Chains A and B, each alone.
Chain A
Amino acid sequence: MGFFTRKKSAESAKERLQLVLVHDRTDLTPGQLEALKDELLTAISRYIEIDPDSVQIGLERDGRTQRLVADIPLRGAARHRAG
């Protein structure tokens, strides 16, 4: 790896730890989180039309508490704004 292209290792350590700690604390593997997302979207889709490509669901840290944050744009709303 070239000297100028190499990412400083402290940054990698912090990014990797942020992910690992969220999964350790919630006892949720990345695979389970994906399954949770899929089931959540399936359930929501039964009631409202959503845009699956722009959905963002993830675990976020705030001090020592974790929250599941979901941003789920609705398709109907987008069309309304466009029209």
Chain B
Amino acid sequence: MKILLVEDDRAVGEFIVSELADAGHECTHISDGENGLSAARSNDFDALVVDRMLPRLDGLELIRSLRAGGQLTPVLVLSALGDVDDRVQGLHCGADDYLVKPFAMAELLARLEILYRRAGQRLVDVPTRLCVEDLEMDLLSQEVRRAGELLGLQPREYRLLEYLMRNAGQVVTRAMLLEHVWGYHFDPQTNVIDVHVSRLRQKIDRGFTRPLLLTVRGAGYRLGGD
């Protein structure tokens, strides 16, 4: 994945560049808003990571100009401002995701990859059926089968699995699950998500030698893939 990072803090920038490189991505680092915007307009990138507070041109302004020009490259906003209002503002002006500093690298990576895949799917027809190996989900009848066998899922388990299947092979963090499956952005004090995931795991993996729902230590979960 080719990523453009617009971040004025050198230490943070260098750290992100090296981490993304380790994860196998190609990253260009630019440290001010104006140059960032012209680089982004070149349309050479798969995803943008943009800091909010930038010299010369504010991060949100950058995204607004970019979207006004019809550019659809997924953008993730980084910000030290974590208030709800800031988040809403960020998403409002065309950003696809919002991450509050400081963040764990695993969280940034997981979110970027999902943004990238989602952008790729945009052009494809809306699917009516999701498949991960021998696990199938019919989005119309809302039925889930593994190896042809019907699984009885609770509505929330269904939505959890749907999100995991739509992002199959990708690491999904707990915060992402809370945001997308439960629709709330909050900080759980305990591992509430883990309990839901392990219940779901019981239903889809029990009795099968190859587990599909995996825990990725220090990051989150992944459905399928290696």
Q: Do A and B bind each other?
A: no
